[in-house]
Amino acid sequence: MARIGFVSLGCPKNLVDSEVMIGILQEQGHSLTTDRSEADVLVVNTCSFVQGSKEESIEAILEAAQLKEQGRCRRLIVTGCLAERYPRQILADLAEVDAVLGTNQIVRIADAVAGRPTPMPDSFGRSDADLYLYDHTTPRTPVTPSYTAYMKISEGCDHTCAFCIIPKIRGRFRSRSIPSLVEEARGLAGRGVREITLVSQDTTSYGTDQGLEDGLAALLDALGAVDGIRWIRSLYMYPSLVSERLLHLMASNERICRYVDMPLQHASSRMLRLMRRGGDRAGLARLIEHIRSRVPGVTLRSTMVVGFPGETEEDFDELMSFCREQELDRLGVFVYSDEEDTAAYGLRDKVPKRTAERRRRELMELQSGIVERKNRRLLQQRFPVLVEGPAAESDMLLQGRLESQAPEIDGVCLINDSEAGAALPGEFRSVRITRALGHDLLGTIVE
């Protein structure tokens, strides 16, 4: 039996894949080590969504290869999106790599560790690939803190956004069943999980492949009845699929977080058309107004892409104006990455990287001011906070999150109180906000 060292890169969806592979290996009798220099086998679960993630993945593979040359590691396995997309290149260019497993081959991880032959991933770009999706019976070892966990509710994507390679890497859209997800949630709750975050490429399409109407709302309704779970949050909602029933559940069920993560990508009608997103600025503004009217206190999070081919200063000014007007609570801004095998790759009028980076800075500066103003409005208000443990900044402070703060992607709430030491990770405590610290908050426990 081997000691396995894992490197998991990319999004929470990829992290779930890593947890499944770890669970499969542990069921086979292998053990996990966090000290990669002590690992017999190293697994690098890669991302290749944009150029930066590809570079990070390659760097991680090279670091693992160096450990293999210098340490006790005897096998190096590369999995995930980069392996799905470039398997032959990885094996040809990196002699230290012993096996590659694509996104639909993670159940073969034990074979790869044991040195048994595994087929070459060859499904890239094919809609009829042998697609995989785990369920509640699949071994899985969460590596997140004990009180929080991700659940992948579906895999793949049927949207045709011009800049996105995910449908080719992950395949067509397919969903898990509601009973399977409820069983997994019960198992997580039994292990002490208090917060579940639902992830997929598009959570609002959940169940469409099964003929479900308003599938995400039906799933949330079922998960809301699972004892022990206090917060259920959904990420990656497609704007045109946010339903009335979904908004009603957020407003009426205290276990469903009033949190809408809805990537809009742009506000210029011309850019949305080129991106194959559809819609226009006026329609997006109406949608945001509608969500806020139906779910009082809702947190709205979105992402935007700047520097898409053909984006003019007028397009960017419209995006800036839209964000200034809407005052989104959370916003991520990405510079367009020119990815081969996407529809946008062949477009002309590429925006210089320097221009795109400048636009990103300007939009983030605008958003920082919006967040600062919004956080100041929270002063002296009380909120339930999920305690996470000692703060990274100082062991004199605790760290937690409000319902409006998703794990890993949003800010945190620091807790400064003489009674703070009595609050344990995974507990919910009432906190009064006393200071706004950029994207973070500072508060005091009140009983």
Question: Which CATH number is 382-445 given?
Answer: 2.40.50.140
Give the Å distances, CA to CA, from 83 to 58, 167, 398, 426.
Answer: 11, 15, 39, 36
Tell the CATH topology of 3-114: Rossmann fold (3.40.50)
Handedness of CA 71, 75, 76, 80 (dihedral sign): negative
Reported as a pLDDT band with limits 50, 70 and 90, residue 421 is: low
Over residues 287-305, the pLDDT tens digits come to 999 999 999 999 999 999 9
Cα separation, 60 vs 96, in Å, equals 13
Q: Report the predicted TM-score, pTM, of the whole model to 2 decimal places.
A: 0.94
User: What DSSP string runs through 263-319?
Assistant: --B---HHHHHHTT----HHHHHHHHHHHHHHSTT-EEEEEEEES-TT--HHHHHHH
pLDDT band at 396 (very low <50, low <70, confident <90, very high): confident
**Where are the chain's structural domains?**
3-114, 148-376, 382-445
Please classify residue 169 by burial: count the beta carbons closer than 10 Å to its beta carbon, then call 0-12 exposed, 13-18 middle and 19+ buried. buried
pLDDT for 130 equals 74
**Does residue 127 register a pLDDT over 60?**
no
> Locate tokens 């293999």: which residue?
68
> What's phi and psi for 12, nearest 5 deg?
-60, -30
For 197, the token pair is 């975050």
CATH fold of 148-376 reads pyruvate-formate lyase- activating enzyme (3.80.30)
Asked if the model's pLDDT at residue 276 lies above 90, the reply is yes
Residue 347, CA distances (Å) to 151, 261, 319, 355 in order = 36, 29, 21, 17
Per-residue pLDDT, averaged over 305-317, amounts to 98
The chain-wide mean pLDDT, for the chain, equals: 94
Distances, alpha carbon 260 to alpha carbons 47, 168, 263, in Å: 25, 26, 9
Q: Is the distance from CB of 306 to CB of 334 less than 8 angstroms?
A: yes
pLDDT-derived band at 176, boundaries 50, 70, 90: very high
Tens of pLDDT along 150-169? 999 999 999 999 999 999 89
Query: What is the reported pLDDT for 108?
Result: 94
| φ/ψ (deg, to 5) at 120 | -70, 130
Residue 361: enclosing H or E segment and its boundaries?
A: helix 353-376
